[in-house]
Structure 1
Amino acid sequence: MTSAFLDALGADGPSADRAGKMDLYGRFVGSWDLDVRHFSEDGRERRRAGEWHFGWALEGRAIQDVWIVPPRGELRNRDAAANFNSYGTTLRVYDPDIDAWRIQWTDPVTRTFLQMIGRAEGRDIEQMGTRPDGQLARWSFRDITANSFLWRGEVSADAGATWRVVTEFTARRRKA
């Protein structure tokens, strides 16, 4: 049963009808090891390891990922949300009507659900959305190479005038 579901969800590569547009996130397909840094409002930092897996989905018209902090196999405490544990998925779908990506993040551990719009910003990628508490959320991929990138999660309580970094992931591609 699980195999049939995964076979139906997954794809071998991008759909031809989305031409080069799928490359924005398609370059991340594969597995990544993470050095995760969480920053509290008072500036304290908590560091954890994590893992992130990207794959082609929905006939190659989407990129889906799963990020897991701490990595599978490490002790996951009972009160997952209080311990900054995360085990969620993002579905990224390129929408030709807006020439951008519609993004849905879901983390059942922390009960976090967020919709965003993603676009290239020069050599970087920026995703924007509004959290349930009304704060703006900005997620960005920076310093992107074939084997590494920096992902940053930020929030703004003043309509984008200032931003506070909440989380940073330093990602390194896993060797095959």
Structure 2
Amino acid sequence: MAMTPFLTALTCESPPADRAKDMALYGWLIGSWEMDTLRHLNDGTTERSTGEIHFAWVLEGRAIQDLWIRPRRPAPSTMYGTTLRIFDTAIDGWHIIWSDPVNQDYSRQIGRAEGNDIVQIGEDSRGLKTRWRFTEITPDSFHWIGEERASDSDPWQVTYEHFAQRTGLVQG
């Protein structure tokens, strides 16, 4: 399928040279990934599924956008969401905006490096505190942990884990 004018205007090959260093925190994710997912239910059981993730440079390389799809296409989606990640020099961190219209799930976070991990802290559309972490990061794999809690005094509860393996690079 030929690139539409919209996709051509949206995506690009890389960040601008003057932003490349700042964009590195998430830049290594650019490409396509497959994932195995564990959903932790309130009764202590887990559900397993598979999915796919795609990351690309967007907005003239000033942001990174991704798609998280579960299960893998062409099956009907139980999750089909996108994240826009934008670096902000004023806070030396990333604005993270998540939208999943399938589940009407929305979250806004700030992301930063924390040791060898990437940690994103914020709130979702239900008013819950959220913490999403990229851990066990290698060039070709990562472990993503999603946690939530009702208040700062509550312990974090793991809700999702994604174990991702790289499948290829995205072409601009």
Q: Deviation at 1:122?
A: 0.7
Matches within 5 A, 1:115-130: 115-130=108-123
Alpha carbons 1:32, 1:174 under 8 Å: kept: yes
Structure 2 residues not aligned, in runs of 5+: none
Name the one with the larger helix percent.
1
Alignment partners' CA distance in 1, 2:68 and 2:40: 18
Pair 1:29-2:22 in alignment: no
Residues 120-159 of structure 1: pairs in structure 2 closer than 5 A: 120-159=113-152
| CA distance, structure 2, for counterparts of residue 163 and residue 29 of structure 1 | 29
* Backbone CA RMSD of aligned residues: 1.5
Report the AA paired with residue 89 of structure 2.
P
> Which residue identity is paired with 1:169?
H
Q: Partners in 2 of 1:140 and 1:149 — Cα distance?
A: 10
Deviation at 1:160, TM superposition (A): 5.3
- Identity among equivalent pairs (%): 47
Change in Cα spacing, 1:170 to 1:103, as seen in structure 2 (3 Å) is: same
Q: 1:13-92 counterparts in 2 under 5 A?
A: 13-74=14-75, 76=76, 85-92=78-85
Aligned partner of residue 59 in structure 1, secondary structure:
coil
TM-score (norm 2): 0.93
Where relative contact order (Cα < 8 A, 6+ residues apart) is larger, the structure is 2
Tell me the equivalent position of 2:160: 167
Higher share of residues assigned strand: 2
CA offsets, 1:33-62, max 9 Å, x none? 000110111111000000000000000010
Distance 1:175 1:66, change over 3 A: closer
